[in-house]
Amino acid sequence: MKTAGSWRFTTLGILITAMAVFIVIQMLRIQISPQADALRDKGELYSGTWRTLTPARGQIYDRWGHLLAGNNTVYEVGVILSEVENPSTIALAMNAVVDSDYDEVLAATSTEASSEAVYATLARFVTEEQKLRLEQLAKEMATAYGNRKDKNRPSLAGLTYDPRLRRSYPEKDLASNILGFVNWEGEGFFGVEERFNIELAGNPQRVWVPFDPNRVEELPDNPEGTSLILTIDRTIQAELEEIVESTIKDTGSESTTILVMNPKTGDILGAATSPRLDLNEFWRYDEIFEDSTPFNRAVSETYEPGSVYKVLTMAAAIDGGAVKPKTSFLDTGSIEVGGTIIRNWNSGAWGPQDMLGCMQHSLNVCLAWVATELGANKFYQYMQDFGIGHITGVDLAGESPGHLKLPGDGDWYEADLGTNAFGQGVAVTPIQMVMAVSALANEGQMVFPRIVLSMIDNGKQYNTSPRSSGSPISPETAQKISKMLATSLEVESSDALVEGYSIAGKTGTAEIPTPYGYTSSQTNASFVGWGPVDDPRFLVYVWLEKPSTSPWGSVVASPVFRQVVERLVVLMNIPTDEIRHQLVEGQ
Amino acid sequence: MYKVQSITQAYSQAPWRKQLQWIGLFMLALILAAMVAGIYLSVSAQASTAGREIQIMYGEMEEIRRNIEDSESQLAILNSNAVMEKRAEELNFYPVESAEIFYILVPGYIDPGQVSLAKPPGVTIPKTATISPEYTESLMEWLSERVFNPASSLVQEVEP
């Protein structure tokens, strides 16, 4: 039975059904249209966010586990533009608390919020104290002006704080030349930080984090970067740095570098130089290291070592059989090598000498003769075996290889054999000298200098082992040269001697080459020594650049060596020779 | 013909009764659908809550890690060489000279050797998926899993 208005219901039904069919068709069309994938991707984009999980940078410790480089929390302060109520208040607060530029912050916070402009970064690396101060200010403003309805009420609404980790150095400038620093971008510069940047930084991972809690996924395990235990002893390093400072003050030298190594293992126990930088304020680098000053002179700066190099020449000659400790030489005050006349440091003739006398009086003429007796080929082979002219491979960034001219090179002349014999015309770094001399102190076995003692990765500690870098000389030669140098210091009553301890060593005074030849007004004064002679525990290298109180290594460098050794024997628990021998006998 | 119609009429149900049956069936379907929807809603709500809690916990884990790093740095500052030296001076200690040291032989003393800083191993927990599938799969997936593969719930994959 049809009623009068039933056609209306029929029409409405058809219309609604048609609309439903149309909606379904449209849905299907959208699903299978060519734009469907792009639309789906766009939708997916808004369903979460990509996050980079940056692991904490690995820590750096000294050999006893004292933290030298760690991490602390800092904040990135930004604004959500749509929530900003008063840009000038934010600019004022940021200027007062974080020292940000008022105009820059005002410009950033005044940006109109849009789909393109959502968030603006105002400051990075804001400390916890600064962040708390900003939060306090925001709270105070909300309490004082929160009820006011006017548009210009003071407000810090919109500020956000995003925490992150930043490198921190609890010891400030201690061992700064060894550690290096990490810049704003988290990249290591200089020293261990640069050399092991990849290991320390760990593996940052980029992950998709959905906003929908139903789609939450397990975040990947993100272990912190590899931690390092260095061979450095914090207390020895602090003592060395104190001595460096006082030496610069007392001698007027441009810089002072002191290296202390265990000659048996190659462990660098301390390496102090100048200038140093508080690593927590690494942005002052340009201000402190002016005119391309090397960050660590111990590994990066080459110089002509002068007479300390004679220990290598004499060791090579004795080992090569060219001379013996008792071989006599008549010093007439000059010798001609390759057409160049070589004279002694005082231009004097020292008469008949044995090799001990030659080393004791540091006679250039005698050492040039010794090198000619050995012969150029053998001499340079020994120098290469000692590692001169090559990097040592120490675990620090920016090591320089130095320069050793060899027979056959375009810039090598026969005269170089004579001058190289006493450390002129050859460029070395302090770390090279330390490695070379380790052969003399360690019974002929040369060791690679080592800075990294252990690595800690994924909860496991991996210890490194001392590595030999060859045997350029025999144990007998090493013993002979040690004995010669110990006697030489005793006979001279050198300022380097430390009461109760047998020390072997040699001073060095090198004129500095200039475009106009060598200048004797400015010198490199140095001292290399080790002890106790019968059981060496330390090898110390001292280098003073351009001292003004005296140009002589024996006057300015020897006392510094003594000062270092006096502290080392205490810090390393080394009894005097007499007590040590008694203790050994008592065992 | 009349007879057949009479019989059919006699045995057919009254129209109101048929309507009631249809209404009953419809209501039954509606209640079933409502029950399923209710369960689905309940499980989804629980999954969402758990998911949100997981998100919060990840945030807390990060914060704890940062706090540990902060504390280690703070401790290192308090024990730094300069601070320790100052404290020693305040307590009237002074750097000892070589001549002031008295050495004795201690029989049986063993050098402690190299420092070990690797963190001690914690309690070993088998590495399993942290988020249970109950929180990620849909109700339909859960039902089909239980219906077609009922034994699967008894097996749990554990990595060695």
**Per-residue burial over A368-400, b = 16 or more CB atoms within 10 Å of its CB, e = otherwise:** bbbbbbbebebbbbbbebbbbbeebebbbbbbb
Cα–Cα dist A44/B55, whole Å: 19
Tokens of A357: 């006398």
- Which stretch, A253-262, B8-17, B128-137, has highest mean pLDDT? A253-262
Whether residue B155 has pLDDT greater than 60: no
Cα–Cα dist A256/A234, whole Å: 19
* Residues making up chain B, counted from first to last: 160
Residue, of B77 and A51, whose pLDDT is higher: B77
Q: Are A423 and A308 in contact (CB under 8 A)?
A: yes
Whether residue A1 has pLDDT greater than 70: no
Q: Residue A507: beta bridge partners?
A: A527
Share of chain A above pLDDT 70, in %: 99
Asked if the Cβ–Cβ distance from A64 to B115 is below 8 Å, we say yes
A524 membership: H or E segment, kind and range: strand A517-531
Q: Where are the alpha helices (DSSP H) in chain B?
A: 2-11, 15-78, 81-90, 139-148
Segment A166-171 shows an average pLDDT of: 95
Asked if the Cβ–Cβ distance from B69 to A71 is below 8 Å, we say yes
Asked if the Cβ–Cβ distance from A56 to B82 is below 8 Å, we say no
Question: Looking at chain A, which residue has its C-alpha nearest residue B121?
Answer: A459
Taking contacts as CB-CB distances below 8 angstroms, the residues of chain A near B51 are: 212-216
Can you state the angle between helices A430-441 and A310-319, rounded to 10 degrees?
40
Measured distance between the N- and C-terminal CA atoms of chain A, rounded to whole angstroms: 125
Q: Which of A413, A340, A329 is nearest to A367 (CA)?
A: A329
CA distances from A166 to A54, A72, A78, B73, B78 (A): 11, 5, 17, 11, 19
CB-CB: which of B52, B66, B85 is closest to A165?
B66
3-class state of residue A573 by DSSP: coil
Asked if the Cβ–Cβ distance from B81 to A72 is below 8 Å, we say no
A496-537 pLDDT per residue, tens: 999 999 999 999 999 888 777 777 678 999 999 999 999 999
Segment B72-95 shows an average pLDDT of: 95
Give the minimum alpha-carbon distance from A400 to chain B in angstroms, rounded to a whole number.
Answer: 31
Q: How confident is the model at residue A208, as a pLDDT?
A: 87
Mention every residue, 6+ apart, whose C-beta is less than 8 A from residue A378: A316, A320, A322
Cα–Cα dist A327/A333, whole Å: 18
Q: Are A301 and A434 in contact (CB under 8 A)?
A: no
CA distances from A430 to A175, A402, A436, A531, B11 (A): 16, 10, 10, 18, 117
The total of other beta-carbon atoms located within 10 Å of residue A539's CB is 29
Size of interface A-B (CB pairs under 8 A): 120
Band of pLDDT at residue A552, cut at 50, 70 and 90: very high
Taking contacts as CB-CB distances below 8 angstroms, the residues of chain B near A269 are: none
Asked if the Cβ–Cβ distance from A213 to B48 is below 8 Å, we say yes
Q: Are A509 and A553 in contact (CB under 8 A)?
A: yes
Cα–Cα dist A513/A523, whole Å: 9
The residue type at A480: K
Enter the ipTM: 0.84
Segment A102-116 shows an average pLDDT of: 91
Cα–Cα dist A318/A99, whole Å: 66
Whether residue A74 has pLDDT greater than 80: yes
Q: Are A229 and B113 in contact (CB under 8 A)?
A: no
Asked if the Cβ–Cβ distance from B114 to A171 is below 8 Å, we say no
HEC per residue, A84-124:
CCCHHHHHHHHHHHCCCCHHHHHHHHCCCCCCCCCEEEEEE
Taking contacts as CB-CB distances below 8 angstroms, the residues of chain A near B83 are: none
Q: How confident is the model at residue B153, as a pLDDT?
A: 57
| Summary mean pLDDT of chain A | 92
A78-87, A90-99, A186-195, B133-142: the lowest-pLDDT one:
B133-142
Q: How confident is the model at residue B125, as a pLDDT?
A: 53
Q: Are A169 and A69 in contact (CB under 8 A)?
A: yes
Cis peptide before A532 (omega within 30 of 0): yes
Q: Where are the alpha helices (DSSP H) in A110-196?
A: 128-145, 176-179, 191-195
Q: How confident is the model at residue B158, as a pLDDT?
A: 45
Give the minimum alpha-carbon distance from B52 to chain A in angstroms, rounded to a whole number.
Answer: 5
